[in-house]
Structure 1
Amino acid sequence: MTYQETIDYLFNRLPMFSRLGAAAYKKDLHNTIALCEFLGNPQQRVKTIHIAGTNGKGSTSHMLAAILQSAGYKTGLYTSPHLKDFRERFRINGEMISEAFVTRFTEKIKPAIDQIEPSFFEITVAMAFDWFEEAQVDIAVIETGLGGRLDSTNVISPELSIITNIGYDHMNLLGDTLELIAFEKAGIIKPGIPVVLGETSPETRPVFEKVAAEKQSPLLFADHLRYAADWQYQHHQLVVQVANHTSADRTSYTLDLPGFYQTKNLMTILEAVHQLQLKHWNIPAEAVQKGLAHVKKLTGLHGRWEVVHTRPVIVLDVGHNEDGIKQIVAQLELTPYRHLHIVIGMVKDKEIDHALALLPKEAVYYFTRAQIPRALPEDELAAKGAGYGLNGHHYPSVPDALQAAKQAAHTDDLILVCGSVFVVGEVPEL
């Protein structure tokens, strides 16, 4: 098969969550275990860090990978979904997986696909482990797809587990309370392996304490150990002064991910680095500084308050659930602009009403949809938005909506594209 034939096969032969939603979600690890056994269990020969959470796990995964690369380690990175290119999901030291490996792997795994009937995501997890083992990475950062306990990635015994935060998302699959969602995320905690928790809440803390105690796993609450004493937004970068509760000393970090919400992820990252250092990973302070300052260059991360154009400023952000939209709204309050234009599309199975209720009413809206079956039709989204005082027009595609916003915007205005990873992924090159 050619690479394009391989991609067509993977996308069309296998159940894919981005297209089908819950119908593609496999609620056990049986298929992944079977695929890994077919491959000789490569995941057992790769050192890993496992990251779950409702929001921030993508940024945290990329930031940590950038730091490990800067420390001289050959670092694998597995994330999902991709924005434009399937190969974005798999990187080693920032370089995407080769087309040749994707094709070779797919040919190799075909007999198992016919026998096991796995999902698209299960195949990509197996592909990541196989590639990382063949390339003999020093360590691989593995981001969960959905949840944790039953997520396909949860077949590893990592050096460290990280749970960024808990919010309302995928409630049809993970549960309708924060406690139930936390229980699913806590499923990545492994016996005796330290777990760093990014954000503490009264509802979820007892869940994590109970699971960690049962597994005899050290539990570190990152937001109780360090805090952002001060911060500044400079030249599309975030400069953060970090302090801890036991010393008057402060350390300054410059992040090329400028969203204010990255201050929370930074506390998680710093504690994760500390835990790795305790396990004798050689990560000097200079590597932490370099990695945080060059995440986008080192790892190829996009879509986190990403400024892609000036005059007018155009920002892309993949925030899509209630907590993600809250963070976007907080960032908007810190950002100067004359008028605000929001290009937005969402998928059907999200808590859309909760997100729409948070958005600023003074903006002009350009309602649209990504070209996937799960997308909410743009006219339905516009009607829902109107019910929350969000006014504008609707457009059949993301390029059409963005073009309309650009034509209407003054050079001092701000255009924000948000609501779905898939919407951001369909923004044309500017």
Structure 2
Amino acid sequence: MNYSETIDYLYHKLPLFSRVGSAAFKKDLTNTRILCEYLGNPQQQFKSVHVGGTNGKGSVSHMLASVFQSSGYTTGLYTSPHLYDFRERIRVNGQVADEDYVISFVEKIKPVIEDIQPSFFEITVAMAFDYFAQKKVEMAIVEVGLGGRLDSTNIITPELSVITNIGWDHMNMLGNSLEEIAAEKAGIIKEGVPVVIGERKKETDPVFLDQSIKKNSSIAFAEDQYNLISQEWKNNHTIITVKKEGQGVRSFELDLPGVYQQKNLLTVLNALDILQKDGYQITEASIHEGLKNVRQLTGLMGRWEILRERPIVILEVAHNKDGMEQMLQHLKLLSFDKLHMVIGMVKDKDAAQVLSLLPSDARYYFTQAHIPRALPAEELKEKAANFSLTGKVYSDVNEALHEALHNISMDDLIIVCGSIFLVAEVNKDLILQNA
């Protein structure tokens, strides 16, 4: 098989969560263990940091990877899902996995695939761990896919566990209360391995504290360690000033705009403090360098990604209540005339919870990604009408975006949001053609 045939095999042979939803979620780690045993347990051949949480785990993972790269470590980064190319999930020093490697890996593992019928995600995790072992990475930043306790990535024993926050997402699989969701996320806390919690919540703090005691794991809450002094935006960069008890004031420049990055930064800084104490050679200069160049060093896309300045066109993968609240907070800081929202969601998200937050004076373009799990655009429009949100239905995101580009003035703003799968289908050339 060539590369495209190999990817086609993976997509159509194996259950894929982005396409079929919870049917692709395997509720134990058996298949992942079998795959990795077949490969010689590559997950035991590199150091790692495990990053979970409801929102922010992708940004935190990329920021940590960027700092480790800037510190001179050969750094693996596993994230999901991808936007444009399957290989975005598996990177070493910012470079996606080789096509030839993907082909040879699938050929090698095919007998096991045919035997145990693993999910797409289980195969992807095993592939990432095998690739990291082959590339002899010195540190792998591994993002949890869904939940934590039963996530395929949870066969690693990391140097540090990080849980960014707990919010309402995937309730059909993780639980119907914040406490239940937190219990699933807390499943990545390992015996004797320290854990950083990004945000405090009265409902979830006891869950994490209880689990850390059970696992004999030291626990740190980033909000307790650092105070935010100020935040400003300059040329699509974020300048965040913080202070830690017993230290002076420090300012960091991030190439990741978005008001929510302030919480992510505190989480990253707390994680780096612990890793430095454990002997990792991470200097203040490499922290600054890494945070200033996250996109360039790790290839992060889709998080407040500005494609055009006038009119402003932004891609934002926010897709749940907390993510949308953070997105809307940042929108309030921008100056523009009319807001145009190109939006599509998936069926297993609480659309009403998201739609209830959105401004009624925006112009809406309801659409959907080309996956079975997508919420039909017509249905999304009907749900939106309950919150006085009006607009038209479009067959795909690029048709909606094309219409929006023809409706705007130079001082308007377009944002594409609601689903990472919707953002992934945006034709960026369309933006440039209409510039």
What interval of TM-score do these two structures reach, taking the shorter chain for normalisation? Answer: over 0.9
- Match status 1:342 vs 2:338: no
- The structural deviation recorded for 1:332 is 0.9
* 1:273-301 alpha-carbon deviations (Å, 9 max, x no partner): 01100110000001110111110000000
- Match status 1:291 vs 2:286: no
* 1:183-206 alpha-carbon deviations (Å, 9 max, x no partner): 000000001111000001110000
Q: Which amino acid aligns with 1:296?
A: R
Provide the aligned length of Structure 1 versus Structure 2: 429
Q: 2: CA distance between counterparts of 1:172 and 1:26?
A: 14
Question: Percent identity among equivalent residues?
Answer: 55
TM-score where L is the length of structure 2:
0.98
Q: 2: CA distance between counterparts of 1:269 and 1:63?
A: 7
Q: What is the SS of the residue equivalent to 2:233?
A: strand
Matching residue of 2:409: 410
Aligned residues of 1:20 and 1:373 also touching (Cα < 8 A): yes
Matching residue of 2:113: 113
Matching residue of 1:330: 329
Aligned residues of 1:166 and 1:181 also touching (Cα < 8 A): yes
Matching residue of 2:162: 162
- The structural deviation recorded for 1:387 is 1.1
Matching residue of 1:278: 277
CA RMSD of aligned residues (A): 0.7
Q: 2: CA distance between counterparts of 1:296 and 1:57?
A: 15
Q: 2: CA distance between counterparts of 1:352 and 1:246?
A: 45
Q: Which amino acid aligns with 2:195?
A: V
Matching residue of 1:217: 217
* 1:96-145 alpha-carbon deviations (Å, 9 max, x no partner): 00100000000000001011110000000000000000000111000010
Q: 2: CA distance between counterparts of 1:8 and 1:244?
A: 49
* 1:24-70 alpha-carbon deviations (Å, 9 max, x no partner): 00000010011111111000111111000000000000000000000
Q: Which amino acid aligns with 1:255?
A: L
Matching residue of 2:299: 300
* 1:393-425 alpha-carbon deviations (Å, 9 max, x no partner): 110000000011110011111100000000110
Q: 1: CA distance between counterparts of 2:50 and 2:222?
A: 16
Question: What is the 5 A alignment of 1:20-419?
Answer: 20-247=20-247, 249-419=248-418
Q: What is the SS of the residue equivalent to 2:353?
A: helix
Q: 1: CA distance between counterparts of 2:191 and 2:282?
A: 25
- The structural deviation recorded for 1:303 is 0.8
- Match status 1:426 vs 2:428: no
Q: 1: CA distance between counterparts of 2:212 and 2:41?
A: 26
Q: What is the SS of the residue equivalent to 1:365?
A: strand
- Match status 1:10 vs 2:31: no
Q: 2: CA distance between counterparts of 1:42 and 1:116?
A: 19
The runs of 5 or more residues in structure 2 that have no matched partner are none
- The structural deviation recorded for 1:219 is 0.1
Aligned residues of 1:198 and 1:265 also touching (Cα < 8 A): yes
- The structural deviation recorded for 1:392 is 0.9
- The structural deviation recorded for 1:386 is 1.2
Q: What is the SS of the residue equivalent to 2:155?
A: coil
- The structural deviation recorded for 1:244 is 2.0
Q: 2: CA distance between counterparts of 1:378 and 1:284?
A: 49
Aligned residues of 1:306 and 1:317 also touching (Cα < 8 A): yes
Q: Which amino acid aligns with 1:394?
A: V
- The structural deviation recorded for 1:243 is 1.0
- The structural deviation recorded for 1:237 is 0.8
Q: What is the SS of the residue equivalent to 1:83?
A: coil
Q: What is the SS of the residue equivalent to 1:154?
A: helix
Q: What is the SS of the residue equivalent to 1:153?
A: helix
Q: 2: CA distance between counterparts of 1:73 and 1:174?
A: 35
Q: Which amino acid aligns with 1:271?
A: N
Q: 2: CA distance between counterparts of 1:60 and 1:341?
A: 29
Q: What is the SS of the residue equivalent to 1:166?
A: coil
Q: 1: CA distance between counterparts of 2:348 and 2:246?
A: 44
Greater Cα shift, 222-231 or 120-129: 222-231
Q: 1: CA distance between counterparts of 2:415 and 2:3?
A: 34
Q: 1: CA distance between counterparts of 2:152 and 2:224?
A: 31
Aligned residues of 1:329 and 1:360 also touching (Cα < 8 A): no
Q: 2: CA distance between counterparts of 1:401 and 1:293?
A: 33
Q: 2: CA distance between counterparts of 1:250 and 1:176?
A: 40
- The structural deviation recorded for 1:245 is 3.6
Q: 1: CA distance between counterparts of 2:388 and 2:365?
A: 14
Q: Which amino acid aligns with 2:142?
A: I
- The structural deviation recorded for 1:234 is 1.1
